Amino acid sequence: MLVKGAKYYTLHCLPLSMKIINIIMSEQQLSEQEILRRENLQKIIEMGIDPYPAAKYDINANAAEIKKMYEENPDSYSNVCLAGRLMMVRDMGKAAFVELQDSTGKIQLYLKRDELCPGENKDLYDLLFKKLLDIGDFIGVKGYVFKTKVGEISVHLTEFVLLSKSLKPLPIVKMDAEGNVHDAMSDPEMKYRQRYVDLVVTPGVKEVFIQRSKIYSTMRRFFDEKGYMEVETPILQPIPGGAAARPFMTHHNTLDMQLYLRIANELYLKRLIVGGFDGVYEFAKDFRNEGMDRTHNPEFTVLEIYVAYKDYHWMMDFTEELLEKIALELHGKTTIPVGDNMIDFQRPFKRITMYDAIKEHTGVDVSTMNEEELREVCQKLHIQVDSFMGKGKLIDEIFGKKCEGNYIQPTFITDYPVEMSPLTKKHRSKEGLVERFELMVNGKEIANAYSELNDPLDQRARFEEQVALMERGDHEAMFIDYDFLRALEYGMPPTSGMGIGMDRLAMLFTNQSSIQDVLFFPQMRLEKTNA
């Protein structure tokens, strides 16, 4: 349907009968609103109007641009063409104010019946804008921009077309003048399962994902400018290597072999360092068949980067520079709000060893303790542990339960026990430790990095220790990757690698408290149906 001045044009009519609509309605449990919308759809079709016309509709402006630029150059907006959802109609008899929402925001439209549908077409105006068009319908409009008497930038319509009829009503979410949101989509079942609705009606949701995208582009520019190359590595892997985690399993029919969804891409990226690249990085989808909570989703995104001839001290400096740059790009300053805290990403960050952190927060020096002594410490600190846990996991539990949450400002926790880090180079001066750091921000781990282990004989022995833990019942212990060992035997230069959890990073820089709020489509249980 196209309304243009005094003329009314009929476009290609969709061959949909009332009989078909009745069949559709009878097979679904529809609300009163849904039934009315389907009836409106049929009436529109009977008027000779195609409710889903050809896809191409050329626009030359958007809501945000008009609001920002109109006053500087009003002559440039004498003939604009917009498209978006109809979000509000305020009828005034022979005129109406309409709110249009496009991908950039909302703008007011002004319609005069006698201008848009003069003479015999006035009934068409009344029928459409008073009875048949619904909130959520997509329309295309043409007109000229002006300012109303109250100073609101608006578009005076000279033409409009129905682009897509909405058959389900949108939830009504409102924001007052102070920015407070009312009647928000707070039900996770709807908010996360129907993200496409949440994006339309909830203020600020789209901006979170725009900011997330900006984090990625900032990081890519940062790495590319330093000469590092973005690569891709396999998601289906014969060995779930590179991390301590429980994998998802599948079966390849043609090869008749068991495969795993990757838990990390580390070992493949290090193969590329062996192959002669000085710096490689990948934004990888990883999968771990483990628990779900506000900071964990079974499918998540990790950035991993490996740079030859560097160590973990260099990587700490590199990480500080990267995060400071992201803060400045997104917020224009290094201090940002995260919940009730103000986090400052200005370099340098605090650095403390893991043993010193444990001693600081528990009063216990675990640096010389064996496994039995560590179990006694866990018991005294009321930390529940499993029988299969070795020395490394016991120390990790103590740190996680008693220390991690205390580090609100960016802090590097360094020099981990060798038992916790089977892929990490032994410390150059501290017996029993490795050259590793984790970056803690707002009480959570954000980044994990090593001076990478490049001794193939040491690496083989570490893998064998992991097998022993697996035999004790540790389902997260690492498999032996014999091809990776073979790659190391060809020689890998001194290398530093780092991984950053992108979902947690997005939570930080967009001030979201749940990982579900920075994922378009978080994992959920199967939806209950009426069938």
Sign, CA torsion 364/368/371/372: negative
452, 494: one domain? yes
Single-letter amino acid code for the residue at 213: S
- pLDDT at site 503: 97
Residue 4: strand pairing partners: 7, 159
Distance between CA 50 and CA 245 in Å, rounded? 54
Q: Which of 145, 167, 189 is the last residue of a domain?
A: 167
129, 195: one domain? no
Residue pLDDT, tens place only, 120-157: 666 666 667 668 999 999 999 999 999 999 999 999 99
- pLDDT at site 237: 94
Q: Which of 167, 186, 217 is the last residue of a domain?
A: 167
Comparing C-alpha atoms, which of 181, 177, 185, 160 is closest to residue 59? 160
345, 286: one domain? yes
Asked if residue 526 is part of any domain, the answer here is no
- pLDDT at site 396: 92
Among 117-131, 200-214, 281-295, 376-390, the range scoring the smallest mean pLDDT is 117-131
Residue pLDDT, tens place only, 426-478: 999 999 999 999 999 999 999 999 999 999 999 999 999 888 888 887 777 78
- pLDDT at site 121: 66
Is the model's pLDDT at 502 over the cut of 70? yes
The CATH number for 73's domain is: 2.40.50.140
Is the model's pLDDT at 19 over the cut of 60? no
| CA angle, residues 101, 103, 109, in degrees to nearest 5 | 30
193, 87: one domain? no
Among 18-27, 81-90, 147-156, 297-306, the range scoring the smallest mean pLDDT is 18-27
| CA angle, residues 163, 165, 171, in degrees to nearest 5 | 120
The number of domains in the chain is 3
Which residue in this structure is represented by tokens 């064998």? Answer: 464
Q: In whole numbers, what is the pLDDT of the chain averaged over residues?
A: 90
Asked if residue 37 is part of any domain, the answer here is yes
- pLDDT at site 5: 45
Asked if residue 66 is part of any domain, the answer here is yes
Among 185-194, 209-218, 367-376, 491-500, the range scoring the smallest mean pLDDT is 185-194
Distance between CA 394 and CA 397 in Å, rounded? 5
Query: 493 preceded by cis ω (within 30°)?
Result: no
111, 81: one domain? yes
Residue pLDDT, tens place only, 422-432: 899 999 999 99
- pLDDT at site 14: 44
Give CA torsion, residues 244, 245, 246, 251, to 10 deg. -80
Q: What domain range includes position 150?
A: 2-167
Q: Are 394 and 378 in contact (CB under 8 A)?
A: yes
Residue pLDDT, tens place only, 215-253: 999 999 999 999 999 999 999 999 888 887 889 999 999
125, 177: one domain? no
Which residue in this structure is represented by tokens 């089977």? Answer: 422
Phi-psi region at 9: left, alpha or beta (left = phi > 0; alpha = psi -120 to 50)? beta
- pLDDT at site 102: 97
343, 196: one domain? no
Confidence band of 12 (pLDDT split at 50, 70, 90): very low
Distance between CA 333 and CA 260 in Å, rounded? 42
324, 430: one domain? yes
18, 93: one domain? yes
Q: Buried b vs exposed e over 242-279: b needs ≥16 C-beta within 10 Å?
A: bbbbebeeeeeeeeeeebbbbbbbbbbbbbbbbeebeb
| Three-state secondary structure readout of 192-240 | HHCHHHHHHHCCCHHHHHHHHHHHHHHHHHHHHHCCCEECCCCCEECCC
Confidence band of 8 (pLDDT split at 50, 70, 90): very low
Q: What H or E segment, with its residue span, contains residue 270? A: helix 266-274
- Percent of the chain whose pLDDT exceeds 70: 89
Measured between alpha carbons, how far apart are the two ends of the chain, in Å? 36
186, 271: one domain? no
Q: Are 315 and 496 in contact (CB under 8 A)?
A: yes
Confidence band of 177 (pLDDT split at 50, 70, 90): low
Distances (CA, A) of 121 to 92, 124, 160, 164, 222: 18, 5, 14, 22, 59
418, 299: one domain? yes
48, 96: one domain? yes
Strand, coil or helix: what is 434? Answer: strand
Distance between CA 303 and CA 447 in Å, rounded? 9
Asked if residue 401 is part of any domain, the answer here is no
Is the model's pLDDT at 74 over the cut of 50? yes
Tally: H helices and E strands in the chain: 16, 22
Among 167-171, 179-183, 425-429, 437-441, the range scoring the smallest mean pLDDT is 179-183
Asked if residue 305 is part of any domain, the answer here is yes
Asked if residue 379 is part of any domain, the answer here is no
The CATH number for 429's domain is: 3.30.930.10
Phi, psi of 205 (to 5 degrees): -65, -45
Asked if residue 363 is part of any domain, the answer here is no
Is the model's pLDDT at 313 over the cut of 80? yes
Is the model's pLDDT at 276 over the cut of 60? yes
Asked if residue 459 is part of any domain, the answer here is yes
